[in-house]
Amino acid sequence: MKKLFLVVAVAMMSISFGAGRAAAQGPAGAGASSAASSSSGGAHSLNPIKWVKKDPKSASDQLNAKDEQDKKLTANLQGQGVLAANTDAKSACEDFKALDECVAALHASKNVGVDFNCLKSNLTGVQTSADMSSCKGSAGEKAMSLSKAIHAMKPDADAKSAAKTAEKQAKDDLKSSRG
């Protein structure tokens, strides 16, 4: 009797483990293809990289699309003395990928007292057509963060706090130019 009980118990265990594995493989039978396609190709992706919305436009493209924002931002930056009177935000932000980076660079160049074209070159990794002979550091060789670019151009400045201040000023300027 013990042997029969043992054989039945082993048989039931193997059947239950086999059924669990089969169920884990997904639906089978009629409608399996529609069930499988709705779970993997639906509106919600399980890939976290697809959750982040990326704006493929550059900073100047963003300002082209929003001409009113460009006018407000240009007037605001010129009023603060951050942007030269003969320059608009669209042309100043030409090589930047994001508008907030450009406005932060404009503020940082004024706050720290470095040339904007040199800072722009360090931030974007793109050589500008302006005279770069006065630039300190490796201008335009490789893109770097705002704090690293400030430190490369003016080592005695507190680069981290200057970058943080400039980014906050940029955020405030962009907020005021939108609304």
- Tell me if the pTM is above 0.85: no
15 inside domain: no
11 inside domain: no
Provide the pLDDT confidence category of residue 110 given band limits of 50, 70 and 90: very high
120 inside domain: yes
52 inside domain: no
Range of the domain at 138: 59-178
150 inside domain: yes
What's the total number of domains in the chain? 1
DSSP the chain: -HHHHHHHHHHHHHHHHHHHHHHHT---STTHHHHHHHHHSSSS-S-GGGGS----S-HHHHHHH-HHHHHHHHHHHHHHTSS-TT--HHHHTTT-SSHHHHHHHHHHHHHHT--HHHHHHHHH----SS--TT--S-TTTS---HHHHHHHH-TTS-HHHHHHHHHHHHHHHHHHHH-
66 inside domain: yes
122 inside domain: yes
The residue-averaged pLDDT of 66-82 equals: 85
| Res 26 pLDDT > 60 | no
pLDDT tens digits, one per residue of 33-68: 555 554 444 456 677 766 666 555 566 566 555 677
pLDDT tens digits, one per residue of 115-162: 888 888 888 888 766 666 667 665 556 788 999 989 988 899 899 999
